[in-house]
Amino acid sequence: MPYGFTTIYWRDMIRFVRFKTLLVSSLLQPALWLAFFGIAMSSSFDKLITGLPVVPGVHMIGYLTFMGAGIIAMTTLFTSLFGGIVILFDKNWGLMREILASPMNRNHIIFGIGLSGVTKSFIQAIIIMVFGILIGAAFFSGFTAVQTVVGVFGILAFVGMFALGFLFLSAAIAISMESPEGLQGVITLLTMPIFFASNALYPIDSFPAFLKILSVYNPMTLLITGIRYFAIGPDFIALGKHYQYTQSDILMAYFGLVVFATLTFGLAYWRFRKAVVT
């Protein structure tokens, strides 16, 4: 494994662990979202769907379980998009100038930041899954031990590819920006439509036609599809809608994330090749 690649990775992970406030807040925030928003909204939505016809042989899940997948995806999105801020700090402190002037291949910077962000996303996803189960989310309900292990690794595979895509995008934006405020503004602009134009909190069936098309190809929708398949199962009812996923659907969703990550890596590679830090 290239030395420069591992140096970038470990430097970012050490920074993540040493800044206790950042560490605790990044791990606690998604749990609070799931606890307060999830429990509050689940009580309302579960009352609305009481009395709806039940399809024989298909289990019905509560809203807490349904939106739990969305919280995992939301946390991964936020962590990944803000991952590039490390690059911007290095630019402002003069460290990036030294890194770019070194013999290190610039791809190592991109992959080092990407892998550290994926590691953080894995930690957060596991914490959310465990916490969700503790407060009543029916993740892996009825699964055997083997199915649960496969489910966890399947979720992490989707989380990792999604995180890589947005970390590459964040790196491309950060190397092009000059101030943290500018980066934060761009990230905020991207976050809201990506999150709300997905099936994180509600089904997309009632969306207007153009918004439904955007949602279907939204990387976040692809991620949530994979999470629900591996955490809940291929056949369930939520919010009165019958969800059925085939293995082909999951493979296509993952392929979509691979394509997205490839495109954003190309963008980051292009921006880093053109980068000049003074």
pLDDT at 48 over 70: no
- At 233, phi and psi to the nearest 5? 135, 175
Query: How far, in Å, are 95, 170, 186, 277 from residue 100 at the CA level?
Result: 9, 18, 24, 8
SS3 235: strand
The average pLDDT across 132-157 equals: 93
Of 30-39, 79-88, 149-158, 243-252, which range is least confident?
A: 30-39
Q: Which of 272, 274, 97, 92 is nearest to 172 (CA)?
A: 272
pLDDT digits (tens, 9 = 90+) for 101-140: 666 676 777 788 888 889 989 988 998 899 889 888 889 9
Lowest mean pLDDT among 10-14, 121-125, 151-155, 200-204: 10-14
The predicted-structure confidence for 157-172, as pLDDT tens digits, reads as follows: 999 999 999 999 988 8
For the cut 50, the answer to whether the pLDDT of residue 1 exceeds it is no
Predicted pLDDT at 55 = 64
Pair 223, 257: CB distance under 8 Å: yes
Report how many domains make up the chain. Answer: 1
Q: What is the DSSP string of 200-231?
A: SSS-STTS-HHHHHHHHT-HHHHHHHHHHHHH
Q: 257 near 165, Cβ under 8 Å? A: yes
pLDDT above 60: residue 274: yes
Q: Which domain does 52 fall in, by range?
A: 3-274
